[in-house]
Structure 1
Amino acid sequence: MKRLSKPLSDLKKRYDFVVVGSGYGGSIAASRMARLGKSVCLLERGKEFLPGQFPSTLKDAAAEMSFHKGKKESKNNGLYEFTLGDGINVFKGCGLGGTSLINANVSIKPEPRVMEMPEWPNAIRQDLASFDEGLDRAWKMLRPNPYPENKNGYPVLKKTNAMRKSAKHMAEEFRLLDINVSFEDKLDNEVGIAQPKCTNCGDCVTGCNVGAKNTTAMNYLPDAFNHGAEIFTEVDVRYVEKTAHGWKVNFQPANTGREVFKAADMFVFADNVILSAGSLGSTEILFRSAKNGLSLSDRLGKRFTGNGDVLGFGYNNNEPINGIGLGKKATSEVADVGPCITSVIDMRKRANLEDGMTLEEGTAPGPIRGILPGMLAAASRLVGKDTDRGWGDRFRERIREITSFFRGPFYGAVNHTQIYLVMTHDDGNGEMTFDNDTLQVKWKGVGKQEIFNKVSGKLYSATEALGGTKIPNPTWNKAMDYDLVTVHPLGGCGMADSAETGVVDHKGQVFSGKTGTNLHDGLYVLDGAILPRPVGTNPLLTISALSERACKLIAEQHHAVLDYGFPARKEKDQAPETKPGVQFTETMKGYFSMNEQEDFGKGFDLGKKENSPFEFTLTIRSEDVASLVNVPTHQAGMFGSMTAPALSAAPMTALEGTFNLFIADQNSPDKKKMDYNATLVSQEGKTYYFQGFKDVDNNKGIDVWKDTTTLFITIQKENAKGPVIGKGKLIIEPADFAKQITTMKALNCDSKVEEIQALTSFGKFFAGNVFETYFKNRGKD
């Protein structure tokens, strides 16, 4: 499989639509707006992962884990993101594909009464056919289907049969779920992605290394790519601002080292912006936008819900479950573990909707299996409740427990453990606040709501059928004040009929004030943040349906009709292969003058006298270090920010940049150059062209430091052919050079060895050119 994302140096100045985030809402928005023929840019904070690149060991998984209490750092940008809240904690995914990369991909329609509840806008409640149409559109793209028991070589799973036994004991409805997983080999799916069939490895929620899971990276995102959308990863969007001609989206590139230089935000202009960064992400962006002057509803951050999520365990049952993922032990053969979730005990058909719940089984992914024997044994002692008694039973349980400790989690008590995920209806009164540039999740005492006592009872009954020990979520106890953990955060930008009761309208368009129904033209939120209440089951299909519905309405606003067909793909649609690359970030400072158009030195001196400074922080990024080293142009991409008060009072963004390293001077064989070229965009929308070069020349004396740290700059109007409007000179200060060294990193590598090889190749090329220029030819002076 090939990459969908582009290097940030390819970012353009302006797009018809900028989509922020790539989960279900964002990927659908990018696909549908691109199908309208609009220019679409998708910005995702996380990295792009291809099958085979997801963690398969505990060490690798730990490196991708990000813990924070609201304040995120761009350098800590892992796949698994855990936000510590007050009363409830949130676990979600961060990568191209959003949480779809690490969820169980269960597609289940909401109970019909859910969509009839008064929290929804009238336009939805009075036209549920449009919501159903959205469900159908999403269903066709995500391709859910049940686990094929006794078909195509797939065995009946022990964990599924255990659920059948639990459902019978509880006198509740059991069925196999529709899951977004491919159980047939596909050389080419509808959007041109090759997908092998599921191998039942059980590692769905640490990332599918097979490629069988139908995440948005397997359908909507490639569809957006095929229709011309430009996708950029590792971009942390900070806030949006209204301009005279649309919107300005302010962002920081992540994992570039720009933070060590305290570099200014970059930005891109858009006619329309669709925020799809998830319940926490979209809410945070709007909070920060409000701090920067955007008028919004006071309901921002309200009606947060964890969708009634409860995690539990039926530990050390009397029968094997085989619920432990294989991790590095996985093979291409069909195993007997199964996808993360395959079945449900559906208890939603209650007289009172709020009493309904869904109870699903799960698997523990292979990378974390090593910590399970100790963790589950300890939890069973502290908070567990055994469902059966007797000396014989207790003896057998201890033997199984000892077996897990000595033989590992594939044996004994851990292999006899059923994992449960329950979703129900909390009261939806959680809140997100924003202080000191930090989003806080607050919902003290949520775990004490009566519904969670009912959930606890159902978990006991399910475990009782199997003769195990019921273990609740380890944080759900008196000592921890019954804190909860949710994997389905919803709300914060809830839908409503007016700004008094919500943040967006029925199609996700943002209200433009604290009261009334006026809307911000071209600003939308499409993701779980817009759900005004819990749905009582896995919400991905509900989110997708609302997003599909909204995109159709947005198309109508643009007097266009969406075409949902799949046209033949052209060769140009194919994404490039991924190769090892390198990246570093540098800051240079100096002066330039708009009163000097010929001499760099004079421009510097005059600029200094005029107090006309010039400074940049640029990231040099090569997607292919072999090309950078071996192709004569030695070219890499370049992007960043530049500050020049003479041109604009605010920092400018450098786009579409190129960097050429040690290119030969045809007129002087002993001389080489480093070239910097970029388009400069000011916050006022003006465009300039930046040209810079370093002369690497064997002059008298050894001046390698001066040559490699002095940049001669030219500023032109609009483009490379425009008139010169100023010249000057920049230098790298020693302290900034020391910081620059810390930003050097390898890209697109699958191992430490590959990283070292990429950096070594670049280092040899750089050092070799320095030696050749300054030392090898000294005898020629």
Structure 2
Amino acid sequence: MEKVKSEVWFDDGDGDEDEDGYDAIVVGSGYGGSVAACRMSVAGIKVCLVEKGRRWESKDFPTDSLKIMSAVRIENRNLGISFGPKDALFQVYEQDDSLAAVACGLGGGSLVNAGVMLPTPIRARRNPKWPKEWERDWEICEASASTTLRIQSVPTKFPNAKVMGEMVGEEFEESCPGPVNLSVNFDIEEQPSSSVKSQGMGNCLGCGNCLTGCPYNAKNSTDKTYLVSAIQAGCTVKTECQVHYIVENLDYTCQKEKRSGRKRRRWLVYFNEIDYVTADFVILSAGVFGTAGILFQSQLRGLKLSERLGSGFSCNGNTVAYLAGSPAPLNAYGLDKNTFSKTPFEERPGPSISSSYTSSLGFTIQSAVLPIAYPYLLFKGITTYGWPPGFWFLHGVIDKLKHMLGPRASNAMILNAMGFDESDGKITFEKDANTICFRPPHDRLLPRKLEAFQKLTKKLGGILFMSRYRSTSVHLLGGCNASPDPSCGVCNPKGQVFDGKSQSSVYQGLYVCDASLVPCCIGINPCLTITTLAEHVSRHLVKDILMHKAKEGTISMDKFVDQRPGSITSMKLDSSLKSMVVFKETMRGYVRGMPCTAYLKLQMNSKTSKNLDGKSSLLGVSHPLLRGKVGGYVVFRALEVDKLHVIDGEVDLCEVDERTPYTQYMHYRLLLAASSGSRYLLEGKKVMNPYLFALYAWRETTTMHVTLKKVVMDNSKEEVVSLKGKLSISIVELLKCLRSLEGNLRGRFICLLVQTFFRTYVSQVPRGSQKDFHQSNFCQNPYPSSNLHRIQTDDGFIISCRQWKSNEKLCRVGGEKKLNPVLLLNGYATESYWLPTEPNDLVRTLLDEGHETWLLQPRLHPSNSSNNFTIEDIGRFDIPAVINMIRNLHGPLVKVHVVAHCVGGLAIHIAIMGGYVSLRPV
């Protein structure tokens, strides 16, 4: 095909870095991922942090009910429905009688939580499941976390804290002697760090809207603490980019990367079915549901994990209630900007949580302020039920009307209870729906918590709205529990993921660093515990990476001398459709007589290995819109029960082959991964020949000849699997394929594809150029050096014969007996034995067996001058001359094997039966 003069490639602006890969990729930016990114970046490691959500500024947080509805995504497993943007700030999961809520954005849960920072209780640290290794440096890591998060105590008692202190009485013991510590700035002038002011941090103004994101930039969330340091040290941050799964980069894939000029890395981190980035270390910190989901999907692609994945799930004994209509001056509604300026600081709601009380029964209750943006009716009858029984729902409607009409709404507040549940919940993965499901743990203290809520209601007055769900949690823990061996957990205490090969072996470079590691319930706000744990894991992580870099010889001292700051980039992959064409293709058929279906997603105009392959540029390549990457999966139940997922696929809809210039090929190359850990290579070609006036055009363009081979790793004793068959696309599936076309260049893509068909079947113009053709471009296994002998026959004609000497080492393998030479005689018109452009031929086969090989080029060969001769002259003069030369070199007793084709066979018969050659040496 003609070489393309101009190519339009999608460039995300960071392509070079992504192609080279990173030392480490951190998935998630909450209390776990931000710590890991910070500590690695400061140590001079090349880090990329990937966050599913967007970057939130203080002005972006919702300030009313309408805005917050657009910032919420709800996934109702009971009804099987989901609505709201996938990267919404609030992610709510409802399943059976349970509700779980998490945050999504650069900063994770620290963006919208209350920022309560309490030390890990002794009861949790004495739990038998708590790893002893964590205790060695726990206090040091906790101090480091407290300093970085700039924890401060609440400077004054706000109204709801005063009321709670007066009304609680003897029911509870105060959990700490002083005020609650928060990661909130109350007086910025006292902060010694200049980075605080440089980030535009403000003071807490006590508006009470912490749970929807601080509108005054006063919260020390991880994006303003750890991530600031990480970016200053060179960390690259990519937002709005979700990681779906990771795949181990085995030797087979690495060889492909070497061919394309990429640096070898351990792991492939996938953003979708097609796009990925490479790294030596992957740190999963996507939250309990996010991390478990990535590991479950990776497991379907061959990652061997502990059977305990998803087990040990805890909701931290969390449940909530809402107290409304109390005559007490709770003042626990968030303030808007208009009301806020008219209210003295001491009379404002204050931070969301400023009081905490722990019962001797083993649970903690905290009062919280309801942000102004929260829809009140959700807490007054829609997701709750009232106590005492009566017209509690009508109360919620009346109270909402009062609030809308202007009069101050009755005093109300949120009650948040935490305690020690059994940590026996379960996270599972639905393969068909591709979603996470969860079952909360048993909570024996739940009746006691509800009873405590009711006692408080009696003292404070009003109506108590209790959750309809058995578990309502914002503090999720576990699922990838840390333990000494894989029989009890998924990771070791350092955060390394077990590979299942032995009781202690782990995947090199794969870590978990978030709340998923916590093997038991904490019983209080777990933010400081998670951050402390991340500090502990990061210490071992940095040592591991630096040792790996030293071993590989890739440590650069320039990194420490001249550090360049990193960046924050929004990576909406959908924007690539401007220069790409994406469509789906479904093909069905039989492979070795067994049913097989391929569900493929093709992304054209994507860079493939051909673009970096110098050999392809010599041959000429098809238009970029006709080349691309392939994702999807193959269903082949006879071979693997689960789906065979495409982890590396390429397609060329108009492949160039200089040997058959009139034929068009659609070449598919798919590397498949199975949940069993096996990998397969599927090579498919649609072959379009310009014969019989395109009579078979439909069949040729819709039928793919496939070969499925099992990829056998080095030193493996597995049996090689090689199956052949055909897959085809029906007219219905073809129409679906056309309908699925996406991208601004889809019209151009169709025109180019039709043009290739026209050139193949109608105009029949050959592709490529003979000037660019050279046999060295195709010789994957070049011949050994050969000698060309000029021989004069008895009639005075000069002929030639090419000699390939045998490999002496191969000759000695079978013993001391030397193999006899072989003489090859071609037919009349073509070369039958020496085929340099083919992957194999008879000459290479004989040489591999250890035979010395001779190829006669008689007087009819094109290299010899034209003359008048007969076939009898070849048998009478040419063959005796070359046999005599072989005997002169090897001695008169040597035996010569003769392999002849067509006219060559007739010539050897003439030589023997005519008496020109003796039977003894042949």
TM range (shorter): 0.5 to 0.7
Question: Is the contact made by 1:585 and 1:617 (CA closer than 8 Å) also made in structure 2?
Answer: no
Q: 1:429 aligns to what?
A: 424
Which residue of structure 2 lines up, in the alignment, with residue 717 of structure 1? none
439, 458, 463: which one aligns with 2:457: 463
1:184 paired with 2:187, answer: yes
Label 1:202 to 1:114 Cα distance change in 2 as closer, same or farther (>3 A).
same
Tell me the SS of whatever aligns to 2:26. Answer: strand
Q: Indicate the SS of the match to 1:311.
A: strand
Deviation by residue 1:128-164 (Cα, 9 ceiling, x = unmatched): 2411111111000111112111xxxxxx421111211
Query: 1:86·1:441 contact (CA, 8 Å) conserved in 2?
Result: no
Deviates most, 374-383 or 538-547: 374-383
**TM-score, normalized by length of structure 2?**
0.57
**Equivalent residue, structure 1, for 2:351:** 339
Q: Shift of residue 223 of structure 1?
A: 0.8
- What do residues 462-515 of structure 1 show as CA deviations (whole Å, max 9, x unaligned)? 222212222212x24xxxxxx322101111000111000000111111111175
2:537 is matched with which residue: 544, 547, 550? 550
Deviation for aligned residue 1:553: 2.0
Structure 1 contact 204–365 (Cα < 8 Å) conserved: yes
Cα 1:541/1:603, change in 2 over 3 Å: closer
Write the letter of the residue equivalent to 2:137: S
Partner in structure 2 of residue 266 of structure 1: 275
Deviation at 1:438, TM superposition (A): 2.7
Per-residue deviation, 1:741:
10
Letter in 1 for 2:237: I
Structure 2 residue runs of 5 or longer lacking an equivalent are 1-11, 251-263, 549-558, 582-603, 632-647, 656-666, 673-678, 681-736, 747-922
2:116 aligned residue: 106
Distance 1:58-1:520 versus aligned 2 partners, 3 A rule: same
Confirm or deny: 8 A CA contact 2:630 2:670 kept in the other structure: no
The CA deviation at 1:92 is 0.4
SS in 2 for 1:198: coil
Q: Is the contact made by 1:66 and 1:80 (CA closer than 8 Å) also made in structure 2? A: yes
Aligned to 2:203: 197
Q: CA deviation at 1:400?
A: 11
What is the CA distance between 1:8 and its match in structure 2? Answer: 5.9
> How far has the Cα of 1:416 moved from its partner?
1.1
- Trace 1:475-554 onto structure 2 (pairs within 5 A): 475-476=468-469, 483-513=470-500, 516-554=503-541
Structure 1 residues 89 and 453: alpha-carbon distance in aligned structure 2, compared to 1, 3 A threshold: same
Of the three residues 86, 100, 112, the one matched with 1:90 is: 100
Which residue among 242, 246, 261 is the counterpart of 1:240? 246
Does residue 411 of structure 2 align to residue 416 of structure 1?
yes
Matched residues in 2 for 1:164 and 1:502: separation? Answer: 41
Q: In the alignment, does 2:399 pair up with 1:406?
A: no
Question: Matches of 1:148 and 1:217 in 2, distance apart?
Answer: 24
1:339 maps to amino acid: P
Match of 1:441 in 2: 437
Equivalent in the alignment of 1:769: none
Q: Which amino acid aligns with 2:219?
A: K
- Computed over aligned residues only, the root mean square deviation of the Cα atoms, in angstroms, reads 4.2
Preserved CA contact (<8 Å) 2:630 2:651? no
Could you tell me how far 1:314 is from its partner in structure 2? 2.1
Query: C-alpha displacement at 1:316, in angstroms?
Result: 1.2
User: Match of 1:163?
Assistant: 164
Quote the residue 1:147 is aligned against.
154
Q: 1:569 to 1:356 in 2, by over 3 A?
A: farther
Distance 1:384 1:740, change over 3 A: farther
Gaps of 5+ in 1: 1-5, 150-155, 254-263, 477-482, 562-566, 619-640, 653-682, 685-732, 743-781
Asked if structure 2 preserves the Cα contact closer than 8 Å seen for 1:313 and 1:471, the reply is: yes
Partners of 2:573 and 2:247 in 1: how far apart? 34
Q: Give the equivalent residue in structure 2 for 1:116.
A: 126
- For 2:179 and 2:605, locate their aligned partners in 1 and report how far apart those are by CA, in whole Å: 66
Aligned residues: 581
8 Å CA contact 1:383, 1:472 repeated in 2: yes
What SS does the aligned partner of 2:366 have?
Answer: strand
Find the aligned partners of 2:560 and 2:130 in 1 and give their Cα distance. Answer: 39
Report SS of the residue matched to 1:38. coil
Aligned-partner Cα distance in 1 for 2:561–2:116: 29
1:24 paired with 2:31, answer yes
**Is contact 2:41-2:234 (8 Å) kept?**
yes
Residues 41-120 of structure 1 mapped to structure 2, 5 A cutoff: 41-69=48-76, 76-120=86-130
User: 1:677 maps to what in 2?
Assistant: none
- Which residue in 2 is equivalent to 1:37? 44
Which structure's relative contact order is higher, taking Cα pairs within 8 Å and 6+ residues apart? 1
Q: Kindly tell me: are residues 296 and 56 of structure 1, through their superposed partners in 2, closer, same or farther at Cα, counting changes over 3 Å? A: same
CA-to-aligned-CA distance 1:158-181 (integer Å, 9 cap, x gap): 111121123325253265210110
User: Using the alignment, how far apart are the partners of 1:101 and 1:134 within structure 2?
Assistant: 22
Partner-residue secondary structure (3-state), 1:497: coil
Alignment check: 8 A CA contact 1:69 1:440 kept? no
Say if 2:615 is the partner of 1:614. Answer: no
1:516 match: secondary structure: coil
| Contact kept? 2:320, 2:417, Cα under 8 Å | yes
- C-alpha spacing 1:189/1:455, structure 2 compared with 1 (3 Å): farther
**Letter matched to residue 322 of structure 2:** F
How far is 1:243 from its partner? 1.9
Residue 331 of structure 2 is matched in structure 1 by 322
Tell me the distance in 2 between the aligned counterparts of 1:165 and 1:10.
63
1:12 to 18, 22, 27: 18
Q: Which residue in the other structure is 1:635 paired with?
A: none
C-alpha separation in 1, matches of 2:524 and 2:244: 31
1:173 and 2:185 aligned: no
TM-superposition CA deviations, 1:390-409 (whole Å, max 9, x none): xxxx99x9999846523449
TM-superposed deviation, 1:340: 0.9
Q: How does 1:694-713 map to 2 (within 5 A)?
A: none
Query: Equivalents in 2 of 1:72, 1:21: separation in Å?
Result: 22
Cα deviation for residue 69 of structure 1 reads 4.8
Is the 1:144–1:180 contact (alpha carbons within 8 Å) kept by the matching residues of 2? yes
CA distance in 2, matches of 1:590, 1:544: 43
| 2:88 aligned partner, one-letter code | G
Please give the alpha-carbon distance, in whole angstroms, between the structure 2 residues aligned to 1:270 and 1:300: 23
Secondary structure, counterpart of 1:284 in structure 2: helix
Aligned to 1:280: 289
Contact 1:146 1:342 (C-alpha < 8 Å) held by counterparts: no
1 CA distance for matches of 2:743 and 2:380? 47
SS in structure 1 of the partner of residue 486 of structure 2: coil
1:304 aligns with 2:291: no
The amino acid of 2:628's aligned partner reads: E
The answer as to whether partners of 1:314 and 1:463 remain within 8 angstroms in 2 is yes
The 1-side partners of 2:339 and 2:671 are apart by: 50
Amino acid at match of 1:344: S
Q: Secondary structure at the match of 1:164?
A: helix
Distance 1:246 1:166, change over 3 A: farther
Structure-2 residue corresponding to 1:649: 669
CA distance in 1, matches of 2:62, 2:576: 25
Aligned: 1:130 with 2:137: yes
Whole-Å separation in 2 of the counterparts to 1:739 and 1:278: 33
What is the SS of the residue equivalent to 2:63?
coil
Counterpart of 1:265 in 2: which secondary structure?
coil
Q: Would the aligned equivalents of 1:324 and 1:410 in 2 still touch at CA under 8 Å? A: no
Q: CA deviation at 1:234?
A: 1.1
The worse-fitting range, judged by mean Cα deviation, of 80-89 and 230-239 is 80-89
Q: Is the 8 A contact 1:88 1:441 kept in 2?
A: no
Give, in angstroms, the shift of residue 572 of structure 1: 6.0
- TM-score after normalising by structure 1: 0.66
Deviation at 1:74, TM superposition (A): 11
- Cα deviation 1:236-268 (Å, max 9, x = unaligned): 111112224543333337xxxxxxxxxx42111
